[in-house]
């Protein structure tokens, strides 16, 4: 099982981080130790600077696949939920400025928060028609629709599978909309899909 994360898949988020929207999907990996399962508090890492939330639609792959055609990609999905790709933004900016890899800012233990509710993928599921929303301490901080993804979930799966063989249990974080921001001890983060609460996490002590 591996965690595959997509960067800059919403134009507004690319702009807010000072980047141009990509012409091809951007992806990076997190280790399995990055998974934070439901009921566990978010533990802020011992990394100086801001740690930011990024709400994302997450899909789980249920079979082995390589070089998947776009029109067959959705058939590989077992289920979906919401997740948080937590980012040590200050560190990431420093690493990017030096032209260095930025896994240290993205792949630390507990940086991939998973929602409590997992929904089954069906023939009628339209992954590009979901409203997603993140509330921090009851206030909406991220809100968008998956229709605004630059690359659809099917396109992402097909693209990634050209480079990496997909395996059962793999998680694909599909990118975050604009509105990312810092989290601090005591924050309560709630993720909604079409108004349904799927993710609920509290930030623990640093």
pLDDT digits (tens, 9 = 90+) for 58-80: 999 999 999 999 999 999 999 99
Query: pTM of the full predicted structure?
Result: 0.96
d(CA 41, CA 125) in angstroms, rounded, equals 31
- Residues whose CB is less than 8 angstroms from the CB of residue 131 and which lie 6 or more positions away in sequence, other chains included: 143, 144, 145, 146, 192, 193, 194, 195
- Of the candidates 187, 177, 112, 179, the one whose C-alpha atom is nearest the C-alpha of residue 140 is 179
Provide the pLDDT for residue 94. 95
- Of the candidates 188, 181, 191, the one whose C-alpha atom is nearest the C-alpha of residue 86 is 181
b/e map of 88-104 (b: 16 or more CB within 10 Å)? bbbbbbbbeeeeeebee
Q: Where exactly are the structural domains of the chain?
A: 3-202
What whole-number percentage of the chain has pLDDT above 70?
99
CATH number of 3-202: 3.90.850.10
pLDDT band of residue 14 (cuts 50, 70, 90) is: low
pLDDT in tens, 95-116: 999 999 999 999 999 999 999 9
Tokens of 160: 């990634």
- Residues whose CB is less than 8 angstroms from the CB of residue 182 and which lie 6 or more positions away in sequence, other chains included: 50, 51, 52, 53, 89
């Amino acid at each position: 099982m591996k965690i595959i994360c997509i960067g800059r898949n919403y134009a507004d988020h690319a702009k807010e981080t000072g980047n141009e929207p990509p012409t091809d999907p951007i992806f990076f990996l997190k280790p399995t130790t990055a998974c934070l399962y439901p009921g566990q508090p978010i533990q802020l890492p011992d990394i100086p600077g801001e740690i930011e939330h990024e709400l994302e639609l997450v899909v789980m792959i249920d079979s082995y696949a390589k070089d998947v055609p776009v029109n067959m990609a959705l058939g590989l999905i077992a289920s979906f939920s919401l997740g948080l790709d937590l980012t040590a933004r200050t560190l990431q900016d420093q690493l990017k400025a030096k032209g260095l890899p930025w896994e240290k800012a993205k792949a630390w233990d507990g940086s991939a928060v998973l929602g409590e509710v997992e929904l089954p993928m069906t023939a009628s599921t339209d992954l590009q028609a979901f409203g997603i929303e993140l509330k921090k301490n009851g206030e909406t901080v991220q809100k968008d629709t998956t229709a605004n993804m630059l690359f659809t979930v099917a396109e992402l799966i097909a693209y990634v599978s050209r480079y990496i063989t997909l395996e059962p249990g793999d998680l694909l974080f599909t990118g975050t909309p604009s509105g990312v921001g810092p989290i601090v001890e005591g924050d309560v983060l709630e993720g909604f899909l079409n108004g349904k609460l799927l993710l609920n996490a509290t930030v623990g002590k640093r």
